[in-house]
Amino acid sequence: MTANRTVVRGGLVITASDEIHADLLIEDGRIAAVAAHDSSAARAWDDAQVIDATGKYVIPGGVDGHTHMEMPFGGTTASDTFETGTRAAAWGGTTTIVDFAIQSVGRSLRAGLDAWHAKADAQCAIDYGFHMIVSDVDEHSLKEMDILVEEGVTSFKMFMAYPGVFYSDDGQILRAMQRAESNGGLIMMHAENGIAIDVLVQQALEAGRTDPRYHGEVRKALLEAEATHRAIQLARVAGAPLYIVHVSAQQAVAELAAARDMGLPVFGETCPQYLFLSTDNLAEPDFEGAKYVCSTPLRPREHQAALWQGLRTDDLQVVSTDHCPFCFSGQKEMGRGDFSKIPNGLPGVENRMDLLHQAVVDGHISRRRWIDIACAAPARMFGLYPRKGTLAPGADADVVIYDPHAEQVISSQTHHMNVDYSAYEGRRITGRVETVLSRGVPVIDGRTYVGRAGHGQYTPRGTCQYLD
Ligand code: DUC
Ligand code: ZN
Ligand code: ZN
């Protein structure tokens, strides 16, 4: 047996474009060949170590293009470190994350990026890349964007929300978009009208409306739609492509669909929390609603149909998690008596692949669309394809053996994220990750964690491949 040759035998290999009963040959951490099960080509790989995938799906490792490990926010820090968060991601079948390095106001992009490298270096169980949050647009940071694109940090998140923290005004946004137009970068937009929202927050608190559910009421769908529309027009003026993060409102999906119908290079992401949760959760009594405070906020249940439809029609291309966990105890509780002090964010990096498989079972999306929105599209969007996001000769052997018939119940008692609650507590899921390989190396082996901090490598990225 040759140690660096592995064959995954007998499974249904699913990519964004194909489903075939095939065997997969892995050599030196890469996919070497895919051949029909039991074909003469596959039978010739008899010197390789065998992983039996009979009756299972063989899928590319998930690519989560939106996480916030150890993110300082709202006076506290997201509770997953790069070590705990990437381990949990692997448990859930995700083998690549793209996290957000943050430029602090008054400091350089480089200083922010260096700080995030220091947090992640030698800690990760799976591969990772970085986007850059731009919070201070000036001549220097605009020049730095060019350098970062060259280095493989090819996407830049900007905020139309959070005045005084991450907020950029329209002029700053336009300047960054113009720069992206010339350097090939992709602007990722948090599209909510934060100036108007802050007025409504103040008015709600003054009227004694302090419970978590008011977080959802003041961050109005119309103010997400308005910001989405404005961001699209600014991108048109700049001639730049645009990616809207965490789309939650039906009216925002409509803005994206209209722009795409015009042929504009505008893309959108939604997250499991908007597909599976709603304002009903935000309204849970005894401050339990705080567990569901994130921005953009959860919407009334009626918005979910538009999100599913957007995913089916490709008006939305990607499902990422916006994983940004805060413990209920001691962190979410900071906002008792004042919803605006609840740290914004939900855990989910471990649950995304399973929840989206449940969407396949429930008939919302096809199996191939599952792999597209969770693996291939984010890899393409963020310049990682076909190394990540598919199973084809030459690709990294990031492979998940997925049991489509296993039954599980999501719970904080059994999850691996470093957070004391689950946003999906008690939810029944059909399907479960069984084995995960990262560049051919087992990270999860038959539901046992066998990975290590430091296996995961920093992965510089190319530019958005939807524009090629
Ligand atoms: N939204 C969140 O819910 N958390 C972190 C940042 C963001 O935009
Ligand atoms: Zn955001
Ligand atoms: Zn985010």
What domains are there in the chain, each with its CATH number? 60-384+462-467 (3.20.20.140)
Contact 398, 61 (CB under 8 A): yes
Strand, coil or helix: 271: coil
| Peptide bond preceding 460 in cis form (omega within 30 of 0) | no
Taking the CA of 321 as reference, the closest ligand is 3
Residue nearest to atom 4 of ligand 1 (CA): 345
Q: How far is CA 238 from CA 176, 249, 259, 388, in A?
A: 9, 25, 15, 30
What confidence score (pLDDT) does residue 468 get?
84
| Peptide bond preceding 296 in cis form (omega within 30 of 0) | yes
What confidence score (pLDDT) does residue 52 get?
97
Please list, in sequence order, all residues whose beta carbon lies within 8 angstroms of the beta carbon of residue 234, skipping any fewer than 6 positions away: 170, 173, 174, 177
Cα 67 to ligand 3 centroid, rounded to whole Å: 6
The angle at the Cα of 258, spanning 256 to 264, to the nearest 5 degrees, equals 75
Residue with tokens 């990422």: 320
Residue nearest to atom 7 of ligand 1 (CA): 295
Cα 209 to ligand 3 centroid, rounded to whole Å: 26
Cα 324 to ligand 1 centroid, rounded to whole Å: 7
Pocket test for ligand 1, best of 322, 326, 340 (most atoms within 8 A of CB): 322
pLDDT digits (tens, 9 = 90+) for 69-106: 999 998 999 999 999 999 999 999 999 999 999 999 99
What confidence score (pLDDT) does residue 1 get?
41
Binding pocket residue ranges, ligand 1, CB within 6 Å: 68, 73, 190, 294-295, 322, 324, 344-345
What confidence score (pLDDT) does residue 4 get?
82
Residue nearest to atom 1 of ligand 1 (CA): 295
Q: Give dist(CA 60, CA 57) in Å, integer.
A: 10
Q: Give dist(CA 162, CA 160) in Å, integer.
A: 7
Taking the CA of 131 as reference, the closest ligand is 3
What confidence score (pLDDT) does residue 134 get?
98
Cα 220 to ligand 2 centroid, rounded to whole Å: 15
Pocket test for ligand 1, best of 69, 294, 320, 323 (most atoms within 8 A of CB): 294
Cα 75 to ligand 1 centroid, rounded to whole Å: 13
Longest Cα separation, the chain: 74
Contact 7, 437 (CB under 8 A): no
Contact 126, 93 (CB under 8 A): no
Pocket test for ligand 1, best of 77, 344, 346, 419 (most atoms within 8 A of CB): 344
Q: Give dist(CA 226, CA 192) in Å, integer.
A: 7
Ligand 1, closest atom to CA 71? 5
Q: Which two tokens stand for residue 80?
A: 């997953």
Q: Give dist(CA 443, CA 114) in Å, integer.
A: 27
Q: Give dist(CA 49, CA 378) in Å, integer.
A: 31
Cα 249 to ligand 3 centroid, rounded to whole Å: 16
3-class secondary structure for 59-119? EECEEEEEECCCCEECCEECCCCHHHHHHHHHHCCEEEEEEEEECCCCCCHHHHHHHHHHH
Neighbours of ion ligand 2 (CB under 5 A): 190
Q: Give dist(CA 29, CA 102) in Å, integer.
A: 32
The amino acid at 45:
W
Residue ranges in the chain modelled with pLDDT below 50: 1-2
Cα 118 to ligand 2 centroid, rounded to whole Å: 23
Contact 448, 374 (CB under 8 A): no
Strand, coil or helix: 334: helix
Q: Give dist(CA 265, CA 116) in Å, integer.
A: 29
| 5-14 and 94-102 beta bridge pairing | unpaired
Cα 66 to ligand 3 centroid, rounded to whole Å: 6
